[in-house]
Amino acid sequence: MVHDAMLESGHEQVTHFVDEETGLRAIVAIHDTTLGPALGGTRLLPYETEADALRDVMRLSRAMTYKAAAADLELGGGKAVIVDDPDEKTEAKFRAYGRMVDRLGGHYITSVDVNTGVAEMDVVAEGTDHVVGTSDGLGDPSPVTARGIFSGIRASVETVYGTDDFDDRTVVVQGVGKVGQNLVGLLREAGATVKVSDVDEAAVESVVAEYGVESVAPEDVYDEPCDVFAPCAVGGVINDETIPRLDCDVVAGGANNVLAERRHAADLHERGILYAPDYVINAGGLITVAKEHEGGTMADAMAEAEAIGDRLLDLIGRAEDHETTVLDAAERYARERIGGADEARVASPQ
């Protein structure tokens, strides 16, 4: 069953780890290492079943391959999940996990993700050098991620309205966590009218007070008229139920897997809504840890995030040339990079 799923998705390796002493249960999925070692965070969630955990890690690792390739990084795609209750995580488990990552010999490099942060990566680093996102690293990637999303929104606005001026533009930001809050600040600085929405009322109140923006009830956010809808919370929010409710010209946000299904990119296109692929414009976090891995600086990461808008404009142009969606163009570009690198590797003598 796992082998069939790997063949279908193109995965190179899926490794299940257990540690009897600590109770650690983890899965590492390496999707593709053509461009370089697989880099991706470790997510800790109390999955109901092992099948759920496997499905998630395989889906996420494949997305990381495309994110890295589309961002012109010399990295492959990987991801890991730890099946656990966040309230029961211990240093011993992460120490054991670090030893397990080390057994992969550098084919997989791990970092922070849902319910894992700098503190956990510091413990992982006790067992392996194949980790980024530690306290010795570049720091919180949220500002870099937000900068890339803002650059992507600006490119989308320029495409749709013929100018990247935000003075007459309204942006609805769904989700005001670290990335969302940074994005609101950048949009307000650029002159945009911003409305925010989140299930966390305290977070909404804080952002409203700090930036002087309006709020929208979570149940009404898809109906709110705007120029740009920026989903920065959970994935799957663009779906059969929400698409008919959207009153915008652009969907561009930082949440991973914004589309419930791939076909929804075509649905948006048919409605005249420009969709900026999330893995293209939210690559700032990956860029940050990639720079850390290379020995670069936060300034280097920020500069590459700023360039995401130009990359998106190129993909939009490719989509127009081929009369297809921007998502199709992004995937084609990523496959070209991976295929080109693979051909060069085969052709080059070792």
| Cα gap 191→187, rounded to integer Å | 6
Q: Cβ atoms within 10 A of the Cβ of 51, count? A: 12
Place of tokens 């600590």: 22
| Structure-token pair, residue 343 | 């051909």
- How wide is the angle at C-alpha 308 spanned by C-alphas 209 and 196, nearest 5°? 20
DSSP notation for 50-117: HHHHHHHHHHHHHHHHHHHHHTT-S-EEEEEEEES-GGG--HHHHHHHHHHHHTTTTSEEEE-BTTB-
79 an active-site residue?
yes
Find the catalytic residue in 67, 79, 93, 195: 79
CB 312 within 8 A of CB 280: yes
* Distance, first Cα to last Cα, the chain: 35
CB atoms within 10 A of CB 77: 31
Give the amino acid at 61. S
Q: Which residues are catalytic?
A: 79
